[in-house]
Structure 1
Amino acid sequence: MDAAEKIAALSRRYRDYVAGVLSEIVKIPSLSGDEEKVIAKLGEFLSDAGFDEVRVDPLGNLIGRIGSGPHKLAFDAHIDVVDVGDPSQWDFDPFGGIITGDKVLGRGAADQKGGAASMVAAGKILKEIAYDGPFSLYFVFSIMEEDCDGMCWNFMIETGELVPDFAVLTEPTNLGVYRGHRGRMEIEVYFKGRSAHGAMPHLGDNAVYKAARAALEFDRLNRKDLGHDEFLGKGTMVVSQIVSGAPSLCAVPDRCKIHIDRRLTWG
């Protein structure tokens, strides 16, 4: 049996194991900035699997290593999640980690704790087949991706904690192998007005109304052609937050901010 056949056989054997790992880490709420407990749990899994090195960098990212080859290949999964919103709108406990059939249910099961669990299992398999290839394999469980996209890797590269030659992200792709993704911009637009008493709004200049008109224009712009690439898809933009300010709730707001999430395609 060659290495590929061994890996395939072990993958089938560890099917329930990886589901169990995923269930356990889904049960641990890990909103951006509050990942310490799930990092600790994943560290236990890596140690139990026999990783050659397990450490947490100064920012809080968990890094496991297998092998000591001259080339560095990194696998990444962010283990923070967004909030659940209104729990009553869920059909199941978002932090229950319920295993049903061939699925694990819960917040982050797909994005991206599923990738994290698969990395744990992959490392376990690599140790079992005594991997000694030309790569140092790094398994990175990164934090604060949802709120601070890219900050964790910027920290690792800028500080020299880990500068890989190649990287594979375990974001959900319906099991497709993707070679890239759209870019992202965060844009804040500020609107200024003039406050006045709520009983006499005609004396003021309502910043919220200005922002609302602009938000509708951004929506119209999104419906137009913002660029399209056969692989990457369509460029998009969405108003993801509106924040206003006024001296009180009975006054015309004199300031408002729109936050735009812009996704960039090729060209």
Structure 2
Amino acid sequence: MAKISEAERLQIFKDLVAIKSVNTDEETVSEYLKDLLAKHGIEATIIPVSEHRTDLQAEIGSGKPVLGISGHMDVVSAGDESQWTSDPFTLTERDGKLYGRGAADMKSGLAAMVIAMIDIHDQDLLKTGTIRLMATMGEEVGELGSRTFAKNGAMTDVDALIIGEPSGYRIAYAHKGSMDIRLTSTGKAAHSSMPGQGYNAIDPLIELLHDANHQFRGADKHNQLLGDLSFNTTIFQGGNQVNSIPERAVAEINARTIPEFDNDVAEQLLDQLVEKWNKRGAKLSKETYMSQPSVETLGDPDLISLAQSIAKPYAGHDIEAGAIPAVTDASNMLADKPKDFPFIIFGPGSQSVHQVNEYVDKQMYLNFVDIYEQLFTEYLENKH
């Protein structure tokens, strides 16, 4: 069979962007990909995770080594669509760029991986080993899809992993962890002219946040590759009327963790602060509703150097390798892997992720199909 043409590569990408998988309905993406793969004789399995939300797994080849390739099928909301120059769910080309929600994060990377896999299969380019596609749901919120893959054993025999998140012509092999935490303070309502009859829920919550900021930011913990720990209150809600003592206040926090100050340490510190202020009369509670550990691999030289050498002619410059600040599905998929496990984040995209008029460079997207084809096959051949 002939390789998938440029027009077909663009049409597949366009089809994926048209599916409004905004934090939901990855089932439709899974069905599209399963049908596409089936047309080329590749069997795929749709894995239910929750209602209308699925993972998808497919593979070509057989035996060891096993190369895992992964991308997520969900996207974030387009926000105020009137602010977009064109329909966010219609892939639109302008000045060599392809615009649409998920164009960078990460339907371009997902499309490029799937097309590369199809071309490798159709051209009989895979001489040894297995390529396993793990397309995930829910990466943008909660990462339940990658947790499902980790729990069902899909990563057990995988010898290397490539995640196609939008790094552009740059490679990452580490990233910070992330935690989303909700702190709730309960008080007693009263008229503001008689505050002694109530208890202001805002006051102890502000005191706790000030204490937490001081302790987190003063922790003096640094990772040479990942940088510093961060702790930010991003949502604060309290009170409902200016002349009433508020009976409830809520703060939501995002922390970006490093191995030297990991999620468990952050949990313990916040628990201690809640206990401290409750002993002083507050009624505070803590809920951690998202916790993803940092990923710090050693940077496998074989995988990284191969990817660098293959991508350099397309980029026209040397390919740097390092860390990224964002969190990926690797937090779950590498949970039981050693630090020397071969892993990279490498995919088409731009810094426009999650923004109005999100885009990917058209030629970069097309190039990554070719980069992936060469990278997947050569890595497995070299490791045989």
Short-chain TM bin: 0.7 to 0.9
**Residue 57 of structure 1 aligns to a residue in which SS?**
strand
AA aligned to 2:230 is T
**Residue 178 of structure 1 aligns to a residue in which SS?**
strand
* Residues 249 and 87 (structure 1), Cα distance of their counterparts in 2 relative to 1, 3 Å cut: farther
* Residues 140 and 216 (structure 1), Cα distance of their counterparts in 2 relative to 1, 3 Å cut: same
Q: Which residue of 1 aligns with 2:255?
A: 262
Q: Which residue of 2 aligns with 1:35?
A: 26
> Alignment partner for residue 155 of structure 1, among 142, 148, 153?
148
1:67 & 1:231 partners in 2: Cα distance?
35
Moved more, 86-95 or 230-239: 230-239
Moved more, 234-243 or 199-208: 199-208
Tell me if structure 2 keeps the 8 A contact 1:144–1:152. Answer: yes
2:96 & 2:40 partners in 1: Cα distance?
23
Moved more, 78-87 or 204-213: 204-213
Post-superposition shift, 1:28?
Answer: 1.2
Q: Which residue of 2 aligns with 1:94?
A: 88
Q: Equivalent residues in 2 for 1:85-234 (5 A)? A: 85-149=79-143, 151-163=144-156, 164-197=158-191, 203-208=197-202, 210-211=204-205, 227-234=221-228
Moved more, 236-245 or 177-186: 236-245
2:210 & 2:41 partners in 1: Cα distance?
55
Moved more, 235-244 or 68-77: 235-244
Q: Which residue of 2 aligns with 1:54?
A: 44
AA aligned to 1:38 is V
Post-superposition shift, 1:254?
Answer: 1.9
**Residue 107 of structure 1 aligns to a residue in which SS?**
coil
Q: Deviations over 1:178-205 (max 9, x none)?
A: 1121122222222222222467556433
AA aligned to 1:157 is A
> Alignment partner for residue 26 of structure 1, among 17, 31, 40?
17
Q: Which residue of 2 aligns with 1:65?
A: 59
Higher RCO (C-alpha under 8 Å, 6+ residues apart):
2
Post-superposition shift, 1:224?
Answer: 6.7
* Residues 96 and 252 (structure 1), Cα distance of their counterparts in 2 relative to 1, 3 Å cut: farther
AA aligned to 1:68 is S
Unmatched runs of 5 consecutive residues or more in structure 2: 261-384
Post-superposition shift, 1:116?
Answer: 0.6
Post-superposition shift, 1:95?
Answer: 1.3
Q: Matched residues, percent identical?
A: 28
